[in-house]
Chain A
């Protein structure tokens, strides 16, 4: 689910980037914020960070004694994305493996649909491997699939989420 969140953050402006003109300072704070926002990529609690939509508040700066850098507490609004357990979503197959398929959903690349979670589909090897069921419904690369999220995992080192999904339920499967 995509969310609009309001977050408090601290932005540190190095001493050498400080300028006497107030307008330049505001610009510097925005540049820093945007930069840190995209470097951070995601957090366990909020999910992926897509885009800052507005800078709502800049608090009073505090000088750091040793370096002379100034720390500004800011509040901004942004768009985030997080997969929730039990949520029904749509994604695109980008890899067909022997024991399941990998899907892309929003910014998440590793959404795994195991063959155990689509028991009526059988793996068909070949140049363009796919999964087929009795009703000739086909799951192959670039097919759009509606699924339910059964688990998510946060990988701290990669700042990334993985998800396990299933087709077990009504109205789930490939969509036209």
Chain B
């Protein structure tokens, strides 16, 4: 299958471009695509005809798989996760899957527990609590 045999997101072995590039959470993509779609709606009567299939399918997907809808909440999620020295990729996986327990968080992003990184269970627990608070007050 994949040409780059080395690639393994679980160990954060992903292409340079992914480590540096800005990853986006589903909820962020949802805000951007919905805004684009609204712009098209104002310009044309049949906006669905104006967008590519890739756009349409992605919009449907991110609408269904966004844990946070409110733009302020979306901003806060990124802000809070940014305090925890995560790679862009890790940050977005956590924001997308919203694990409920420390054990689940480590299963979703095994790389946060690799040696030499400062994430003990307590720090992860605090991060998850902060996230669930946003959800509660959204």
Bound-complex Cα distance A49 to B26 (A): 15
A48-B54, A164-B1 as given contacts; A3 in contact with B7, CB under 8 Å:
no
Chain B facing A: main interface SS: helix
Contacts of A107 in B (CB 8 A): 53-54, 57-58, 61
Contacts of A9 in B (CB 8 A): none
Bound-complex Cα distance A51 to B35 (A): 11
Distance to closest chain A CB from B125 (angstroms): 16
Is A92 at the interface (CB under 8 A from chain B)?
Answer: yes
Contacts of B10 in A (CB 8 A): 86-87, 148
Bound-complex Cα distance A49 to B36 (A): 14
Identify which of residues 36-69 in chain B touch chain A, using a CB-to-CB cut-off of 8 Å.
36, 51-55, 57-58, 61-62, 64-65
A86-B8, A87-B9 as given contacts; A79 in contact with B108, CB under 8 Å:
no
- Are B24 and A5 in contact, with the CB atoms below 8 A? no
- Are B1 and A3 in contact, with the CB atoms below 8 A? no
- Are B26 and A92 in contact, with the CB atoms below 8 A? no
Distance to closest chain B CB from A87 (angstroms): 4
- Are A171 and B104 in contact, with the CB atoms below 8 A? yes
Considering only CB atoms, which chain A residue lies closest to B13 in the complex? A86
- Tell me which of B73-81, B92-100, B115-123, B128-136 binds A: B92-100
Contacts of A171 in B (CB 8 A): 99, 104, 107-108
Is A151 at the interface (CB under 8 A from chain B)?
Answer: yes
Contacts of A79 in B (CB 8 A): 24, 29, 32-33
A2-B23, A92-B64, A152-B1 as given contacts; A50 in contact with B107, CB under 8 Å:
no
Contacts of B24 in A (CB 8 A): 2-4, 79
Bound-complex Cα distance A86 to B15 (A): 13
Considering only CB atoms, which chain A residue lies closest to B37 in the complex? A51
Contact with B along A108-149 (1 / 0, CB 8 A): 010000000000000000000000000000000000101011
Is B22 at the interface (CB under 8 A from chain A)?
Answer: yes
A4-B22, A51-B32, A153-B2 as given contacts; A81 in contact with B9, CB under 8 Å:
no
- Are A1 and B54 in contact, with the CB atoms below 8 A? no
Bound-complex Cα distance A169 to B73 (A): 30
Is A98 at the interface (CB under 8 A from chain B)?
Answer: no
- Residues of A bordering B, CB below 8 Å: 1-5, 38, 41-42, 48-51, 53, 79, 81-82, 84-90, 92, 104-107, 109, 144, 146, 148-153, 164, 169-171
A-B pairs, top 4 by smallest CB distance, nearest first, are A151-B1, A86-B9, A38-B52, A86-B10
